[in-house]
Amino acid sequence: AGVQKARDRDLDVSVIDHRGFTSREEFDVALMRTIDGYQPDLVVLAGFMRILTPDLVRRYEGRMLNIHPSLLPAFPGLDAQRQALEHGVKVTGATVHFVTADLDTGPIVSQTPVSIRDDDTLDTLAARILDEEHRIYPEAIARVLDGAGTPFWG
């Protein structure tokens, strides 16, 4: 759906299917070539559910963002909403962070809390967190591009 929305807005779109590669490294090389062709100031991940190779992370370190559905460092990795419900916490949220070699540990740009309700299900909690992700991610991107959210090593 995102690709179609971009095309509907006459944005340049490239799609690389990871299934056409024999290794993660080969895929990441193709991905880096494509990204480099755009000469971006910032690489923004969203729903990119793949572990990135160290070479790719190093290439864009300090200018690659990700969003995660928890208040990092709590509940990194997959199933963050499920982890929050299983641990019985009362507040979770969303975090925008710089991507580093270690999963979900990069410098934090922005966070927002989301209360967990007594009647929450995985779906209701995930939907409320997603609403907040959609709100804070564009704000965080703008801050980074304006220089206000630059990582400490940038």
Q: Active-site positions?
A: 68
Q: How far is CA 57 from CA 82, 99, 109, 152, 153, in A?
A: 27, 7, 17, 17, 14
Q: Which of 40, 38, 46 is nearest to 13 (CA)?
A: 38
CB 97 within 8 A of CB 65: yes
